[in-house]
Amino acid sequence: MLKPILWPVLAPSLLFAVGIGAILPVMVLGALQLGSSASFAAAIVGIMGAVSLAATVPAGMLIDRLGDFRAMLVATATAVVVLGGIVAAFIWDSPASLILYTVGLMLFAPVSDVWNLARQAVVAEVMPPQDLAKAMTALGGTQRVGNLVGPIVGAGLMLIFPLWSVFVLSALAAVAAIIIMALPIARIPGYPDRGSAGTEASAHAGDGADISKDPTLAEEVAGHPHKPPRPRLEVRWKAVVLVGISIIALTVARSAQPVVIQLWGIDIGLRESSISLLIAFGAGLELVFMFLGAYIKDHLGRVATLVACLTIFGSGFVVMVLVPSLSGMVIAVAIMAVGNGLGAGVNMTIGADLSPAIGRARFLGIWAIFSNGGKLGGPALISLVITLASLRFGILFPGLFAILGAVWVLIWAKQIGLPGRMRRG
C-alpha cells in the first residue's frame, strides 16, 4: 500500500525528522546558553514562524517550478549549510553568537517548509484517494518517530559532548537523506519530476480537444509556446478558510508545546538531557496513538479527528498549569501526546482533500499559510504573555486556544464538507 512512497518519501523524511527532532528540544536551550532571556528565547521560535509565513507561498511556487524531488534535494542541501552556521555560532563564542544563532534558525525555517510541502505534494499526487489518509498518517508518523529518536540520541550526545553536537547530528541526518534520495530505488516509476511548465504543458498536450475548443487558451499557448498559461486553482476557498482557522489553533499548540516544556522544565530545575528525554517520551506515546488516529480519519472523518486532537491536546496545557510539579508535567506531556498522536497527518490529509489536481503544489503553499501562521503565533504570543503576565499564563494560552479551535470546526463542519464517516455498502 505504501510501497510507492517508502524509499522516495518516507525513508528520507524519517531521517530529516530525526534531525529536526534532535534540535527541537534544544532550540530554546541553545538561545539561553548563548545569553538570551527566557522571553527572547521563546520569541526566537516565533521569529522562525514569521519567516516561514513570509516564505510559504514562494516555497510553493519554487516547488512548482523545480519539481518535487529537486526541491527536496535543494532544501536538504541548504539545511546542511545552515546547520553548519549554527554550530559555528556556538564554537565562535562571541557577543554576536546569539545573532548568528537566531539568523541560522530563521534560515532553517523556510528550508524545512520547502521540504515538507514537496514531500506532501508527492504523496498527494502518487497515492490513490482510498489510501491517501493512511499515507498522510504514515508521513506524519515519520515526524513522530523523528521526535522520539532525535531527542533520545540528542540527550545521549549532550551527556558527553556540548549542546552544539545535536546540530551536527541534524546535519548528518540531512546528508543521509540526500544519499537515499539519490539512489535508484528512490525513483517512482512513471512519476515525472518537473516543474509547473513541464507538468502543465503535458496536461494541455494530453487534452488537445480542450485547447481547440477554447480560443483564448489556444491563443495564449500559441503566443507563449515555451510558457503555457498558469491554470486557475479550482478550490473551495470558503471551506479552506473555515477549517484553516482550526489548523492555526492546532499549529499554535504544536509550536508552543516544545517551548513550554523547555521553559517549564528549566523553571522546575530539570537538566537539558532530562527535558530532551521528556519530549522523547511524549513522541513515543504519539506513535502509539497515531494508528488510532488513522482509523478515525478513515472511518469517522477528518472533522472528528481534528476535534479529538485539539480537545485532548489543549487539555494537556491546562493540566500542566493546574498541577505545577514534575509529576504534573509528565501527566501533561502524556495527555498532549495522546491528542497530538490522534492528529498525526490530519493537517496534510485535509490539505490533500481540498487541493486541486492541477496546481497542487501552489495550493499547498497557500494552505501552509495557516500552519505557518500558527507557528508564528504560538511562540510569539507565549513570549508576549510571559512578558506581560507570567510563565503559567503563557502555558495556559495555547491550550485554551486549541480547545476553542475544536469548537470552531464543529460549528462549521457542514459548510466545510470534508470526508466524513465511512459507510459500508
- For the segment 169-214, what is each residue's pLDDT rounded down to a tens digit? 999 999 999 999 999 999 888 777 644 444 444 444 444 444 344 4
Most confident of 46-60, 148-162, 345-359, 397-411: 397-411
* List of residues 6+ apart from 112 with CB closer than 8 A: 20, 52, 75, 79
Q: Residues 30-48: pLDDT tens digits?
A: 999 999 988 888 788 778 8
d(CA 259, CA 47): 13
Is residue 252 within 8 Å of 401, Cβ to Cβ? yes
Q: Is the pLDDT of residue 346 over 60?
A: yes
Q: State the Cα torsion 308-313-317-318 to the nearest 10°.
A: 10
In the chain the domains, ranked by start, together with CATH numbers, are 3-185+229-416 (1.20.1250.20)
Q: Residues 140-151: pLDDT tens digits?
A: 889 889 988 999
Taken in order 95, 41, 21, 9, the sign of the CA dihedral is negative
* pLDDT at residue number 218: 45
* pLDDT at residue number 230: 66
Is residue 228 within 8 Å of 197, Cβ to Cβ? yes
Question: Grid coordinates in use for 14?
Answer: 524519517
Residue 306 φ/ψ, nearest 5 degrees:
-65, -40
Q: Residues 373-421: pLDDT tens digits?
A: 888 888 888 888 888 988 899 999 999 999 999 999 999 999 999 987 6
User: How distant, in Å, are the alpha carbons of 33, 79, 273, 329, 402 from that of 152?
Assistant: 20, 21, 9, 18, 28
pTM of structure: 0.75
d(CA 138, CA 408): 27
Q: Residue 329: how many CA atoms within 13 Å on its side-chain side? A: 24
Q: How far apart are the first and last CA of the chain?
A: 22
As a whole number of angstroms, the longest Cα–Cα distance in the chain is: 72
d(CA 89, CA 66): 32
Is residue 48 within 8 Å of 377, Cβ to Cβ? no
Burial class (CB in 10 A: 0-12, 13-18, 19+), 424: exposed
What is the DSSP code string of 82-108?
Answer: HHHHHHHHHHH-STTHHHHHHHHHHHH
Please report which confidence band the pLDDT of residue 265 belongs to, taking 50, 70 and 90 as the band edges.
confident
Taken in order 386, 390, 395, 396, the sign of the CA dihedral is negative
Burial class (CB in 10 A: 0-12, 13-18, 19+), 356: middle
